[in-house]
Chain A
Amino acid sequence: MNIVVCVKQVPDTWAERKLRSEDKTLDRESVDGVINELDEYAIEESLRIKEAHDGEVTVLTMGPEKAAESIRKALSMGADKAVHLVDDALHGSDVLQTSYAMAQVLRKIGFDVVILGSESTDARMGALAAMLAERLGVAQLSLANKVEIDGGTIRTQRVADYGFDRVEASLPAVVSVVEKINEPRYPSFKGIMAAKKKPVDKLGVADADIDAAKVGLTGAATEVVDFVAAPPREKGTIVKDEGDGGQKVAEFLASKKFI
């Protein structure tokens, strides 16, 4: 089985994130990059599918040179090889363009199942899985907290407000997984040493038949018009318990729609 897992490098969740003043894109250089946390569940799930059904796991990453660090980590967790789509022409692409570029690569490398995390912690669009499925003309099984493959059929549990849906489709398919679907493994010592020897295929836009005019900041369908720094956190409200503390807490929770 040919399993492709999409992995994005994002700024460290704990670091202060900034937009670049010159083109209003995310400053990826000044902060440490890490694997998008939600993608770690996708990597783990792809490795579990591989272990259960044989096959090969390919990491697909679109991002600058620096994203190679995250590719290495995915390989050290156990993925077999990687494709790194890296080209200055891609800088500033929005989700529509990203889905176009990645779909082109997926057409080129082929797949039985594509697995993604449910969203990235930097842009938080959560739309890439749906767009990829649409562009590739295959089934979309989103927000899965359970994935089973049986021959040419894939079944998932789709998380919903009311519980979950059971979803079934024929392969090939695109799946997005939610956190808690599994417990991502740590890279092991042997995994790290083996990752050094695993192939990483670097592709530019031309290599993947991507039309450079259809990607990048200038052709993006969305535009960041303006941005302001997040305001400093406001002081919290202190409620003094004068016998009605419980009631006040309940009122607060109700005002925030927690209860």
Chain B
Amino acid sequence: MEMHAELTPEQVAIKEAVAELCADFPDEYWRERDAKLEYPQEFVDALAEAGWLSVLIPEEYGGGGGTVADASIILEAINRSGGSGVPAHAQMYTMGTVLRHGSEEQKQRLLPRIASNDIRLQAFGVTEPDAGSDTTRIRTFAARDGDEYVVNGSKIWTSRFQHSDYMLLLCRTTRYEDVEKKTDGLSVLLVDLREAGDSIKFRQIRTMTSHETNELFFEDVRVPVSNRIGEEGKGFRYILSGMNVERILVASEVLGDGFWFVDRASAYARERVVFGRPIGMNQGVQFPLAQAYAQLHAASLVRWQAAALFDSGKQPGFEANSAKLLASQATWAAANAAMDTFGGYGVAEEFDIERKFREARLPLIAPVNNNLILAYIGHQVLGMPKSY
């Protein structure tokens, strides 16, 4: 039985309550959404109604007033149940940019309605086809026209666009060629998607997972200047501060998947009898699962450390990035150990291993590539020359 040394009694209750909600959305539910590439609307609604998506919004704006550690527990519990927090996780943290850098008027306008589940702010347009991880090279441009910006350009890998009422958009308000520091001249705009209408076109990208993600095209999209978050030209700084939360929460989901693999595979290994004995009696089956389980716990501790630092007001760049790096590797090890344990059944859809296996590959490269995390640690933390 697992101990919960890191968790308060309330956090154990959070974990149990989320698991209880998730039990109403069994494997078949997720298998069907996956097969049809469908957004799990009923599940996301159930999470929102119970207040699980508004924990990071302060109580004064109608939210739960919880910590990143609390949010981390929620997402881990969702993925450990066999489901996925991906369709809903951005509703938890995208508002953080507004909360930390928006004006009081913007916060009053948005946060209570996010908390009450009346609006969804869960799309964030950052990456572009020609920029990739080199964010400062983005070219989507917002030109000032009186009280409005007029936005033109395109984005790629913008998730949940179809299930958002608002999106945050990172764009250039001064061209790359015209700034001294390449991280300057970027701004964050809040785009009301209902008002934008046809001026934003989308093309859904079919992927190996059922995550809803898109390529977006902006054609003279008009955004009021009053919808700019923070100062003009300082947007890069604003999105970086939100990245640490994203890393911690993504790591938590990934850990949930990793523990799910070990739970399922060890249960199967105890019961599946071949050559007259349970296959779990073979060390070739047993050890990879034990190894992955230990790795998951180690990654989990780094995640808790990152969450605790963030919740105490720090910006734990190293810890948050390391948590995501280690969690994705531990879960990939768990995914492969589970696949080996299930043998041929691992690739059969009805056992769910292949579905989670496809999802487990993604965190090694997204939302930030693990190589970029290593480059960051090597350069920023260890002071070696910049390699990129």
Q: How far, in whole Å, are A187 and B16 apart by their CA atoms in the complex? A: 9
Given known contacts A189-B66, A189-B70, A193-B66, is B50 in contact with A76 (CB within 8 Å)? no
Q: How far, in whole Å, are A9 and B44 apart by their CA atoms in the complex? A: 31
**What are the residues of chain A within 8 A of B51 when measuring CB–CB?**
188-190
Query: Is B65 in contact with A186, judged by CB distance below 8 angstroms?
Result: no
CB proximity of A17 to chain B, nearest CB, Å? 17
**What are the residues of chain B within 8 A of A187 when measuring CB–CB?**
13, 17
* Interface assignment of B196: CB less than 8 Å from any CB of chain A: no
Q: How far, in whole Å, are A193 and B10 apart by their CA atoms in the complex? A: 7
Residue of B nearest to A77 (CB): B17
Q: Can you list the 7 inter-chain pairs with the closest CB atoms, starting with the nearest? A: A187-B17, A189-B64, A188-B51, A189-B51, A192-B13, A188-B50, A186-B50
* Interface assignment of A196: CB less than 8 Å from any CB of chain B: yes
CB proximity of A152 to chain B, nearest CB, Å? 35
* Interface assignment of A18: CB less than 8 Å from any CB of chain B: no
Count, chain A residues at interface, CB 8 A:
12
Q: How far, in whole Å, are A133 and B55 apart by their CA atoms in the complex? A: 43
Interface centre among B13, B54, B65, by most chain A C-beta atoms within 10 angstroms, is B13
CB proximity of A191 to chain B, nearest CB, Å? 8
* Interface assignment of B43: CB less than 8 Å from any CB of chain A: no
Starting from the known contacts A186-B17, A186-B21, 13 additional A-B residue pairs (CB-CB under 8 Å) come to A76-B13, A76-B17, A186-B50, A187-B17, A188-B17, A188-B50, A189-B50, A189-B66, A189-B70, A192-B14, A193-B10, A193-B64, A195-B13
Question: Which residues of chain A from 175 to 233 have any CB-CB distance to chain B below 8 Å in the complex?
Answer: 186-190, 192-193, 195-196
Of B13, B50, B52, B64, the residue contacting A73 (CB under 8 A) is: B13
* Interface assignment of A72: CB less than 8 Å from any CB of chain B: yes
CB proximity of B4 to chain A, nearest CB, Å? 12
Task: Offer 20 A-B interface pairs, CB within 8 angstroms, sorted by A.
Answer: A72-B9, A73-B16, A76-B13, A76-B17, A186-B20, A188-B17, A188-B50, A189-B14, A189-B52, A189-B54, A189-B55, A189-B64, A189-B66, A190-B51, A190-B64, A192-B10, A192-B13, A192-B17, A193-B66, A195-B13
